[in-house]
Amino acid sequence: DTGVSQNPRHKITKRGQNVTFRCDPISEHNRLYWYRQTLGQGPEFLTYFQNEAQLEKSRLLSDRFSAERPKGSFSTLEIQRTEQGDSAMYLCASSLEPISSYEQYFGPGTRLTVT
């Protein structure tokens, strides 16, 4: 197992287009998290899943954003009608609760640029 992976690593899109990112967590990790990180800031929580159930969504997650984890393994984050303010690094993390003592393992991120 090589850790959390995210695809694509970079995405450039025009304003108004839809984009979808994928996250593959560490095998058997039951929790999966999405964060957004803008330049010079710390990551901000967006949403998280326990297996396939989405348990919490941040108010940052407007109705243009949707996340799924259909079989409790990989997850997708879709942004519809992208805006320039959506430009950021989107980070995925996973953990095995309660065994991992709350340590989250992060992926390399997907950098989104909206032009």
List residues binding other proteins (CB under 8 A).
Answer: 33, 35, 40-45, 48, 55-56, 91, 93, 101-109
CB of 106 to other proteins, least distance (A): 4
40 versus 85: smaller Cβ distance to other proteins? 40
**7 in the Ramachandran plot: left (φ > 0), alpha (ψ -120 to 50) or beta?**
beta
Identify the residue whose tokens are 């095995």: 96
Structure tokens at 101: 């003592």
Beta-bridge partner residues of 77: 21, 67
80 versus 105: smaller Cβ distance to other proteins? 105
CB of 54 to other proteins, least distance (A): 12
**Angstrom distance (rounded) from CA 41 to CA 68:** 26
88 versus 91: smaller Cβ distance to other proteins? 91
